[in-house]
Amino acid sequence: MTETVVQPQISKHWPASIYRRPDGVVEQALSPARMRGIVQSGEGELWVDINSMDMHQHALLEKVFEFHPLAVEDTLSPRTRVKLEEYDRYVFVVMAGIRLESTTPDPYDLETFNLYYFLGKNFLVTVHAVTALGCEAVRERLQRSADLLARGAEATMHAIIDQAVDAYFPLVEQINAHVDRLEERLFEEFDEGLIHEIFKAKRAAFALRRHIGPLREVLNILTNRPSSYIRPETQLYYRDVYDHTIRIMESVDTTRDLLAGVLETYLSQTSNRMNRVMKQLSIVATVALPLIVLGGIFGMNFSRMPLVHDPLGFWAALAAMVVVSAGIMWWLHHRRWL
């Protein structure tokens, strides 16, 4: 059946939306009244993408979809933790998006933002405050062909989550590349300022793990727990995303182990440099100590001192110092302490 696309007049406050009717006709840019009717009818498949920075769009969550006020409040807080909550008509999922901050020179500075999903019987509502590449990619796909919507709203949510999780892989690879460069710099030339970059990289790795760990648990629930909103055949696709999170967690753990090794190597080099300096200072002190003793002996104010009135007394004392210093240097070299 050939899909027919219906595009009514668009208001600037309407969120991006795509609806596939039971007869295969696709509607885009739906009005709030039309969205309410679709949700109440329970027919077809609807996806609405809401920008939470637009208060007119955000108000639709409560006025049109009648979501719980606590869930609606969570969509306004960037500090909402990654979680899954079940309500009577839908499930509420929060996941974190992470990307490298492009506006700062710090290569380890991460930008985090939340993606919110409301999955019901025949609808999916996504909410975000910044541009989400996963939503953009899926929207372009649906605009070319709405076959994905024909598989259910849960398939659309899987596609968006899959895109968001796949975006973690290049991020982990970039951090690994930074760690490799830290190792090269550490062995090429010791840099005291390297300790700051090591701890910045550790902070980035911990931030990744802090967000991916709860997401793995959420995907585990979506994959294995029976749900009236996700069909068993669709849960297989969520299992694939769950496997991706496990791979990412393993990569992050490997990165943390590498950073621990880099930090240990840095501390070892610092300790070795300190030991080398202490060794050199000890050698100087060992050589200088006999000279100080000889100088003190010949500098005592006694009237009867050997060579005190001898015209060659100074040169004799100086020669004694040279001989003693040379003897100590030979002894240190013989013991392989130099």
3-state secondary structure the chain: CCCCEECCCCCCCCCEEEEECCCCCEEECCCHHHHHHHHHHCCCEEEEEEECCCHHHHCHHHHCCCCCHHHHHHCCCCCCCCEEEECCCEEEEEEEEEEECCCCCCCCCEEEEEEEEEEECCEEEEEECCCCHHHHHHHHHHHHCCHHHHCCHHHHHHHHHHHHHHCHHHHHHHHHHHHHHHHHHHHHCCCCCHHHHHHHHHHHHHHHHHHHHHHHHHHHHHHHCCCCCCCHHHHHHHHHHHHHHHHHHHHHHHHHHHHHHHHHHHHHHHHHHHHHHHHHHHHHHHHHHHHHHHHHHHCCCCCCCCCCCCCCHHHHHHHHHHHHHHHHHHHHHHCCCC
Split at pLDDT 50, 70, 90, the class of 125 is very high
Question: What's the rounded mean pLDDT across residues 274-297?
Answer: 76
Q: Is the pLDDT of residue 1 over 50?
A: no
Query: What per-residue confidence (pLDDT) applies to 327?
Result: 82
pLDDT tens sequence across 67-122: 999 999 999 988 888 999 999 899 999 998 887 776 677 767 777 889 999 999 89
Could you tell me the domains of the chain?
Answer: 1-148 (3.30.460.20), 280-334 (1.20.58.340)
For 162-189, the pLDDT digits (tens) are: 988 988 888 888 888 888 888 888 877 7
Per-residue pLDDT tens for 219-277? Answer: 999 898 888 888 888 888 999 999 999 999 898 888 888 888 888 888 888 887 787 77
How confident is the model at residue 5, as a pLDDT?
54
